[in-house]
Structure 1
């Protein structure tokens, strides 16, 4: 008896693997996004209270946002 694949089995070779540079680019973009978010939160923490009122934010809003980790949106 010979082993045969099921008629509806999908061949692994049908799926193209993504090239390595694509994965590296995605990781680089993610790191850049995290770094940008970190810098934005540092800037937000330094804004004066009267400017926060102009933006419609309270000091509590700023504390809550700045307490988040860099990977949290």
Structure 2
């Protein structure tokens, strides 16, 4: 017979999941920050090749790191 305690995640499993989730979230935010910083450094000629305007770049770089 299976009890509810064996099918539920243990406290350590929950802690590991939350720790993993937080680390992935922080990594995603940091990567987004780096991408926006790199985007801000692209010159106008390359922006035109990408189909972006300086206003597009300003708008994207003005976003907070947690916003996609």
TM over 0.5: yes
User: After the TM superposition, which segments of 4 or more aligned residues of structure 1 sit over 4 Å from their partners?
Assistant: 12-15
The TM-score normalised by the length of structure 1 is: 0.77
- Once the two structures are superposed, what CA deviation does each residue of 1:17-70 show, in whole Å capped at 9, x if it has no partner? 462111100000000000000000000000000000000000000000000000
Query: Any unmatched runs of 5+ in structure 2?
Result: none
Show the 5 A alignment for 1:25-44: 25-44=20-39
Q: Please provide the CA RMSD for this pair.
A: 1.7
Query: Any unmatched runs of 5+ in structure 1?
Result: 1-11
Tell me the matched-pair count: 62
The TM-score normalised by the length of structure 2 is: 0.82
The aligned residue for residue 16 of structure 1 is 8
More helix per residue = 2
